[in-house]
Amino acid sequence: MLKDKLNAVLKIDRRWIFLALTVVLFGAIIHPLGLLSKNIARDTQNAYEFMDKIPAGSFILLDLDYDPSTAPELSPQAMAVARHAFRNNLRVGVVTYSAGATGLIEQLFAVVPGEFKKEYGKDYVILPYQPNAVAVMTQMASDLYGIYDKDKDGKDTRSMPVMKGIQNYKNISLVVCIAGTSITDIWVAYVGDKYNVPFIAGVTAISQPGYGPYLQKKQMRGLLGGMKGAAEYEHLIKTPGKGSSGIDALSLAHVMVAALIIVSNIAMVILKYL
């Protein structure tokens, strides 16, 4: 009797599980739990501290390589990092090697600089999309104007105050790459390792565990992983955003998955041994 019931539970139509997930996640969006991640991962902390120590006026390169399929995780990271940079009065150059990212970058920079009264051309610049990352990375070692002599709208970059004194990696204090692609690995291999440029990455949660080796070897100075990384960074800069509200909404769904795995395994054990 019990066994029949358990069998039925294990063989439940998967669409009920889909519905449960929908209810749990949508419910949490409508009624947030209001929980905040209070533990900060070491890699996020390291990223924040490294960035925080860069003197005002320094130039950092922000490579944003996420498209709609990874934006929910990575856009909050990008926003938090950009806010931190502007708050600390760093000069920001934005680059991208993902075709799908251009639209998202423009949307992000239509909002964030205004919060800090930052001006285009003086405090930040958005450089045009380039299809071959390796090409650009190699070029920037000698003279970045070889590729980026114009900004995304075709304006001359050399004359912009934001680019004053910037020629190659020697003048760049930090590269931050927030990417849903393997561009991160290319930065490590072709720039971080070769030219000793400090490098911080923001990656999707899926690829995060794979970067442990680079972190341990200090090929990366810090790492933000997925929405949790975004929430932690938002916490550190004390500006809650989509990362914090997102990770709150994911809480119940995570507990639900954990419970489903445990329940189904207990059911299996009972079926087998009783």
Partner 1 sequence: MKLIKKTIPLAIVFVFGILTLLTYYVPHKHSVDFLETMNKWENIVTAFAFFLGLISLFYAHSTKISRKADGWGYSLFVFVGFLAIIIPAYISKGKNMNGAELTWMGWAFQYIYNPLSATMFAVLAFYIVSTAYKSFRIKSLQAFVLFVAAMFLILGNVPLGQIIWDKMLGWTGYNISQVVDWIMHVPAVAGKRGIMIGISIGAVVTALKIIFGIERQYLGKD
Partner 2 sequence: MSHTVLIAGAWISAGLTIFLFSFLYKDNPFFKIAEHLYLGAGMGWWCQIYFGVLQEKVWTPLTHHEWLVLLPALLGLSLITQFIPKISWLSRYGFTFLMGYGSGLAIPAGLATDFINQIGGTIQPFANLAGMTAFTLFNSVLMAVGVICVLIYFFFSLEHKGAIKKVSNVGIYFLMIYFGAAFGNTVMARFSLLYGRFDSLYTFSGKQYLYATQVILIAMVTYFILHGFLTRNKADQDEEAA
Task: Supply 178's token pair.
Answer: 């927030």
Contact predicate 179/156, CB 8 Å: no
Whole-number Å distance between alpha carbons of 122 and 131: 26
Contact predicate 246/231, CB 8 Å: yes
63 binds partner 1 (CB under 8 A): no
Binding test (CB under 8 A) with partner 2, winner from 6, 36, 41, 250: 250
Q: Which is nearer to partner 2, 37 or 88 (CB)?
A: 37
Binding test (CB under 8 A) with partner 2, winner from 198, 222, 226, 241: 226
Whole-number Å distance between alpha carbons of 168 and 229: 29
Q: How far is the CB of 19 from partner 1 (least distance, A)?
A: 10
> Residue 152: which of 116, 114, 82, 105 has the closest Cα?
105
3 state DSSP class of 92: strand
Whole-number Å distance between alpha carbons of 169 and 132: 18
Instruction: Choose the binding region for partner 1 from 57-65, 86-94, 166-174, 258-266 (rule: CB under 8 A).
Output: 258-266
Binding test (CB under 8 A) with partner 2, winner from 209, 272, 273, 274: 209
Q: By CB under 8 A, what part of segment 182-241 binds partner 1?
A: 205, 208-210, 212-213, 215-216, 226, 228
Number of residues forming the site for partner 1 (CB under 8 A): 64
Task: Supply 23's token pair.
Answer: 């209810």
Task: Supply 60's token pair.
Answer: 């950092």
Binding site for partner 2 (CB under 8 A): 15, 18, 21-22, 25-26, 29-30, 69-73, 99-100, 129, 131, 134, 185-186, 188-190, 193-194, 204-206, 208-210, 213, 216-217, 219, 225-228, 242, 246, 249-250, 253-254, 257
